[in-house]
Amino acid sequence: MNIQKFTQKSMEAIQSAQSIAVRNHNNQIEQMHLMQALLTQENGLIPQLFTKMTIDPAQLQRRVEQMVSGYPTVGGSGAGNVYMSQGLNQVLVEAETQAKRMKDDYVSVEHLVLTMMDYPDRDMKELMKTFSISKKEFLNALGAIRGNALVTSENPEETYDVLTKYG
């Protein structure tokens, strides 16, 4: 995994996922922590995509927070020491492959979600099933927002859906 190939928003989401795990006294950063980070990103692309898919991002976020609050906690000297779960590590590694398949130079937030759809852990599978989230619909929403734009910079999310923002 080459962290230099991740967009600014992707790196922020990964850091935020770690903070969420620490705040919840979890010793492992899971895919659900990353999803929570992506759903709460300021001016984030992922809530826009779910809205376009007619999925309420606030409702999705509440469910993700419930799931995260159910994770095992660690206290004492082990608190604050977190490591990445195998499932999340696989997502971060495979996200680069996803970006290449889409002919993008950088791993953006949409690549992270698409990769979680391809390699979901148990909780992510449950979330996708509960909210009827399909990869096909996600890609359709992404196409509507992103158009034919490629991820060729560290801040591509700022160029998506420009007409809606400024038109």
pLDDT digit string, tens, across residues 109-123: 999 999 999 999 999
Tell me if residue 6 falls in helix, strand or coil.
Answer: strand
Dihedral sign, Cα of residue 47, residue 51, residue 54, residue 58: positive
pLDDT digit string, tens, across residues 121-144: 999 999 999 999 999 999 999 999
pTM, two decimal places:
0.90
Q: How many CB atoms lie within 10 A of CB 47?
A: 19
pLDDT digit string, tens, across residues 3-15: 889 999 999 999 9
143: exposed, middle or buried (Cβ count in 10 Å: 0-12, 13-18, 19+): exposed
Give me the residues paired with residue 28 across strands: 83
Q: How many angstroms separate the CA atoms of 167 and 86, rounded?
A: 43
pLDDT digit string, tens, across residues 3-53: 889 999 999 999 999 999 999 999 999 999 999 999 999 989 999 999 999
User: Do 111 and 19 contact (CB within 8 A), yes or no?
Assistant: no
Is the model's pLDDT at 165 over the cut of 50?
no
What DSSP element (H or E) covers 28? strand 28-29
